[in-house]
Structure 1
């Protein structure tokens, strides 16, 4: 049986497809599993032993469709469910099963602060698309495979190489990120050294945080590559992070995770830490929350209470225990 799984974006959503691919490969005898995504997200499936071939979205949809037709698939598992995947399924004529996004319920939940979405993790929602093949949840975490043989002594100062907390301070949108002063307050009360992780967009934030605290905090934001950042997360004692891709990737290594939520909420997205034994999911109930599905560039009401009002002690006590 030859199966094509499709998910184009984004980092977190693609990370949560990995249990589907693993279960297909391991539970269907002789299955050949291919995965189609955007070139920007190729790294998520690089080195993944459960994918027989990785297809990348071409410059034109017609070119992608021709490549799919040439592979002669038995099934398409559509985990994206958008216009492009609908066109692919229509023009290839391949039998398919499609992830149900529940857009109306999500819109009503966001607009009117209703709880219309059942608290089912995105992985389990994805897995519903393959139950017709007899595939079941294997109860294992997400998969992520580090690409290179990194060494801590090449990435961190000596003071941080034995035991450290990885604090993922980056996120695509402002309303997902904790303010610098709150991060500083938390880091000052942690019993282990802290490594700050994120992209170039939060390097200046990391410099401010490290400058305010001193030698116990090392700012690796904007310095380490994504693969190096994943490696550092995998070797950390524990992780603090927001609703962002690197925090979700960290779930593959089953380390204690403090998952901090501001303007977005895990119940709406279904992306709280998956199959991680030791987890703190923290956020505050407010009439204005969630203010968006994926995050905004500023707090619509100007107060940003969803981050400022999160109790520091909950995070500190969880990490220090």
Structure 2
């Protein structure tokens, strides 16, 4: 195999967890040219992976069929003469363009009855492969072959030069001590630790001499503003004011990252930053932060994980009862500068 294509997931965290697969494909085929087909909001993290050479834009939204557009894109990809494609999402639509492009070897899980579209079909064994990173890595094996373990942790690149370029572009300097908060979660509010708790934690860190930067998408700007209002003058709201590339570089500068189960949690893990990850409605048994420097906090209530976007019981006890004192104590175990 000389040239292959990745059809990337639509979520930042999922895409990061696919990086060990990319590394395995390169190890199996030295000199491999590996490109990606990805939504534009995911492309920046692929650009921070040394295994990916070129990124093609996947413009099709969730549920959008647009056969004419997919045919047009398939013709463009056919001209690239890929030997193989690895289709990471399990939907039928995600496999259409590679099939229309005539890529001869089309690898993926059977998914939504994709028998004609995927011709190197893996059958998912959720018990044997509990982690998403393992499921992606399995695609480097032949169907039916056991996964070669261990699976390496994902890695993203952020060099000192890239960090300085980002700081200069944003007219920022790195403070002597820096803690990053990632208070959002794209999936829904049942994964978000309360703003009041984040604000109380900010007060603790500010008293210890830390600057607190808040990261997230434009959708997270309002909750970051709420945290700032509850902890006046102690935080800097960067939600929606940086590109994802810039967020990668700024997170790489942090002494510690406190985050919900979110895409930025996986970014911080892949940058090997110390992390305290807060889990409510979701489970670290499937998509944990893959790092030797990550601590996971979960109350493990009887009602969780429910995997719902909003609390079906209306109380969100799984996060409301995870108190700032508990989180601060876990943070201090990762930092040598706490009292």
Q: Is the 8 A contact 1:152 1:232 kept in 2?
A: no
Cα 1:74–1:138 shift into 2, 3 Å? farther
Name the structure 2 match of 1:85: 94
Cα 1:228–1:315 shift into 2, 3 Å? same
1:151 aligned to 2:161?
no
CA–CA separation in structure 2 for the residues paired with 1:168 and 1:17: 22
Corresponding residue to 1:232 among 229, 247, 250: 250
Corresponding residue to 1:286 among 291, 294, 301: 301
Name the structure 2 match of 1:44: 45
Q: Is the 8 A contact 1:195 1:219 kept in 2?
A: yes
Cα 1:121–1:100 shift into 2, 3 Å? farther
CA–CA separation in structure 1 for the residues paired with 2:133 and 2:79: 29
CA–CA separation in structure 1 for the residues paired with 2:156 and 2:204: 31
- From the two aligned structures, give the one with the greater helix fraction: 1
Name the structure 2 match of 1:70: 79
> Following superposition of structure 1 onto structure 2, how do residues 17-166 of structure 1 map, counting pairs within 5 Å?
17-46=18-47, 48-57=49-58, 60-88=69-97, 90-91=99-100, 92=102, 94-99=104-109, 117=127, 120-132=130-142, 140-146=152-158, 149-151=165-167, 154=170, 156=172, 161-166=175-180
Alpha-carbon deviation of 1:154? Answer: 4.6
Cα 1:100–1:12 shift into 2, 3 Å? farther
Name the structure 1 match of 2:183: 169
Alpha-carbon deviation of 1:236? Answer: 0.4
SS in 1 for 2:42: helix
Q: Is the 8 A contact 1:170 1:244 kept in 2?
A: yes
Q: Is the 8 A contact 2:38 2:56 kept in 1?
A: yes
Which runs of 5 or more structure 1 residues have no equivalent in the other structure?
Answer: 104-115
CA–CA separation in structure 2 for the residues paired with 1:41 and 1:164: 26
Name the structure 2 match of 1:300: 312
Alpha-carbon deviation of 1:155? Answer: 5.1
> Following superposition of structure 1 onto structure 2, how do residues 170-249 of structure 1 map, counting pairs within 5 Å?
170-172=184-186, 173-190=188-205, 191=208, 192-249=210-267
SS in 2 for 1:319: helix
CA–CA separation in structure 1 for the residues paired with 2:168 and 2:326: 29
SS in 2 for 1:241: strand
TM-score (norm 2): 0.78
CA–CA separation in structure 2 for the residues paired with 1:17 and 1:203: 28
CA–CA separation in structure 2 for the residues paired with 1:232 and 1:46: 16
Which runs of 5 or more structure 2 residues have no equivalent in the other structure?
Answer: 61-68, 114-125, 334-339
SS in 2 for 1:171: coil
Q: Is the 8 A contact 1:23 1:136 kept in 2?
A: no
Alpha-carbon deviation of 1:161? Answer: 0.8
CA–CA separation in structure 1 for the residues paired with 2:82 and 2:74: 12
CA–CA separation in structure 2 for the residues paired with 1:208 and 1:251: 26
CA–CA separation in structure 2 for the residues paired with 1:82 and 1:35: 17
Name the structure 2 match of 1:110: none
Alpha-carbon deviation of 1:167? Answer: 0.6
Cα 1:126–1:119 shift into 2, 3 Å? closer
Alpha-carbon deviation of 1:208? Answer: 2.7
